[in-house]
Amino acid sequence: YLNCNLPSKKIIILLHGYLVGHYRSCQYIKFFIKEGFNILLVDQRGHGNSEGTYATYGRYECEDLDLWVSCIRQKVGEKCFIGVHGHSMGAATGLMYSVLGKNKIDFIISESAYANAIEVIKRKLNKYKIPFFPFYNLTNHKIKKVCGFSLGEISPMDMVKESKVPIMFIHGDEDELIPCYMSMEMYEIKKGIKSLCIIPRAKHNTCYATNREKYENEVKNFLKMI
């Protein structure tokens, strides 16, 4: 927890993606400090210094996020302003939390999120010419047996449909891992306060590095909407 703006009760939780750690979110720290936020950097379950053997692509990470939010409210007080910034799986975690946390967080910034896990798997299998069936059935059965959830449960899109939390969607238009249209579709179905920022020539991990000025200006404009 980086308490860099001591009087401030504005906190941003930074959530990394799959197979990295909290260090992946460090690139955003300077910007959010300038915007008056204190920072909570976390390692998601099964990553870095956190416990857990498996990542669940947002299914149980959203419940972990609820604990982090509760911890902040206990530490800072109920009259705080909490945002979640996530990249890839971290963004999916934030979106999956958007209904559960509707009265607990004030906004979400979703960078390069997937709309649902099954669609991402289909794209990956098609790329390598692997038939969806029976590969998906066998994999999903194994996941349910070992981890206790189904891949069909991982659908940020379904949560976005119901969410009343302000959400900003950011995506690179050259993202080959998670296509840009997923953020665009979620933006279209989102009701209430929302924003969409497409970064030209940015890939899955390079939105901020590709055009930092556009990224920061769009985030500032979004925060003014809340």
- Asked if the model's pLDDT at residue 7 lies above 90, the reply is no
pLDDT in the model for residue 171: 99
- Ranges of CATH 3.40.50.1820 domains, the chain: 10-115+155-219
**Would you say 104 and 39 are in contact if contact means Cβ atoms under 8 Å apart?**
no
Q: What is the pLDDT of residues 167-208, one digit of tens each?
A: 999 999 999 999 999 999 999 999 999 999 999 999 999 999
Q: What is the mean pLDDT of residues 69-96?
A: 96
| Cis omega (within 30 of 0) for bond into 134 | yes
3-state helix, strand, coil in the chain (%, to 5): 45, 15, 40
Q: In what order do the strands lie in the sheet with 81-87?
A: 38-41, 10-15, 81-87, 107-111, 167-172, 194-199
Mean pLDDT over all residues of the chain? 96
pLDDT band at 215; cut points 50, 70, 90: very high
- The count of other CB atoms within 10 Å of the CB of residue 196 is 17
Q: What gap in Å lies between CA 32 and CA 223, rounded to an integer?
A: 11
Q: What is the mean pLDDT of residues 33-52?
A: 94
What are the b/e assignments for 156-195, b being 16+ CB within 10 Å?
bbbbbeebebbbbbbbbbebeebbbebbeebbeebeeebb
In DSSP notation, 94-144 reads HHHHTTTTTTT-SEEEEES--S-HHHHHHHHHHHTT--HHHHHHHHHHHHH
Q: What is the mean pLDDT of residues 16-39?
A: 96
pLDDT in the model for residue 207: 99
pLDDT in the model for residue 6: 82
Q: Which fold has domain 10-115+155-219?
A: Rossmann fold (3.40.50)
pLDDT band at 19; cut points 50, 70, 90: confident
Q: What gap in Å lies between CA 46 and CA 134, rounded to an integer?
A: 27
- Asked if the model's pLDDT at residue 209 lies above 90, the reply is yes
Coil, helix or strand at residue 74: helix
Q: What is the pLDDT of residues 111-136, one digit of tens each?
A: 999 999 999 999 999 999 999 999 99
pLDDT in the model for residue 83: 99
pLDDT in the model for residue 52: 86
Higher pLDDT, 193 or 1: 193
pLDDT in the model for residue 76: 92
pLDDT in the model for residue 164: 97
Residue type, 173: D
pLDDT in the model for residue 53: 86
Is residue 101 exposed (0-12), middle (13-18) or buried (19+ Cβ within 10 Å)? buried
